[in-house]
Amino acid sequence: MAQDRLALNELDAVIAVARRGSFRQAAIDLDVSTTALSNTIAQLEARLESRLFNRTTRSVAITEAGKVFLEQVGPALQDLRAALDAVRSQNAGPSGTLRINAFASAARSALLPLVIEFLQQHPKVHIDLVTEGRLVDIVADGFDFGVRSAGLVPNDVIVVPVGPPQRYAVVGSPGYFAQHGKPRSPSDLPGHRCIRVRLPNGAIFPWYFERDGEVIRLDVNGPLTLDESSVVKVAVQADMGLGFFMEQDVRDEIRSGEFVQVLKDWTPPRDRLCLYYPNRRNPSAAARAFIELARARQADQA
C-alpha cells in the first residue's frame, strides 16, 4: 500500500533527529533546511498515524512509538545500505559512506590516522565521523562502527583494538609549579588548584589513580569547571591550575616542556581503545576493507 512505502531520506531523517535531539542540528548533518526536515518528519508521522517526536519551541524528545520505530528501522537501514554498497562495489571496489561514532580524544589519538590511511587507499569511500561524549547504540543510531575504551564496548559486538594502551596524565605549567610546588601523591591534590571537567551528562569527571592495587577516585576542587579539553589546555597554559587529560592529548606539550607531568607512577596504562561493529552477514565492501585495515594495523602494533 502507498502509505506503507518509506523512502531512505525519511529513515535518515528520523535517525538524525533522534541522535541530535534537534531539528536544526539534524538538518545540518543531512545538508537540508530545517523546514524541509520538519516537513519530512511530519509527512511520515501522518502516514504512520503516530507521533515520533514531541516538539516544543525549546526541545525535541522521541516518543515511545519513535523508539520502537528506531529499534526496528536502524538495523534494517544499515542492512539495506550494505546491500546497495555491495552491488556498487562489484566492479568499482569499496565505495559509499561509512559512519563512525567515537569519543573526541579517541578520534584524535587512534582513529584519525587509520581513517586517513584508509581514504588514501579507497578514495571512493566517504567517512562521516561523529565525535561525542555520550554512549550511543551504533545500530539504532545508524552507525557502521563505534570507538570506545574496551570497558565501555557492548558485549554483543565484534571488537578490534586500535592504538596503544591509554593512560591518564596530570599536568601543570612550569609557572604553576614555580608558585605552588608539585604534588607527590594524590593525597596532595586537595591543596592544589585543579581544573574540573564537566561531562556531557552534567556530571563532574573524577580523577582516577592507581598504584600497587590501591585505587583512588578524587572529586577535585579548583577555580574552573570546563567542558572541553582544548579549553582546559588554555587554562593550564595560563598557570591557572592542574589539568587531568588522556596522555596522548598532551604528549606534544609534555615533550616541548610547555607542560610538566606529575604523579606518573599513579597513572598506569588503562584499557585500549576498540573499534567495534555489529555482526552482520553481508557487510559492505567499504566496511570489510576498513575492518581489514584495522586488523592489519593491530597486528603491526602487537
- Domain ranges for the chain: 1-62, 70-159+272-302, 168-266
User: What is the assigned CATH class of domain 168-266?
Assistant: alpha beta
User: What is the assigned CATH class of domain 1-62?
Assistant: mainly alpha
State mean pLDDT over 245-251: 88
Predicted local confidence at residue 32, as pLDDT:
87
Residues near 13 by beta carbon (within 8 Å), at least 6 away in sequence = 26, 30, 37, 40, 41, 44
Q: Do domains 70-159+272-302 and 168-266 have the same CATH topology?
A: yes
Q: Which CATH superfamily is domain 70-159+272-302 in?
A: Periplasmic binding protein-like II (3.40.190.10)
Phi-psi region of 163 (alpha: psi -120 to 50; beta: other; left: phi over 0): left
State mean pLDDT over 230-241: 95
Instruction: Give percent of the chain with pLDDT exceeding 90.
Output: 41
- pLDDT of 4 above 60: no
Residue labelled with grid coordinates 501522518: 46
Question: Structure pTM?
Answer: 0.59
Predicted local confidence at residue 155, as pLDDT:
85
Predicted local confidence at residue 242, as pLDDT:
98
Cα–Cα–Cα angle for 42, 43, 47, rounded to 5 degrees: 115
State mean pLDDT over 202-211: 91
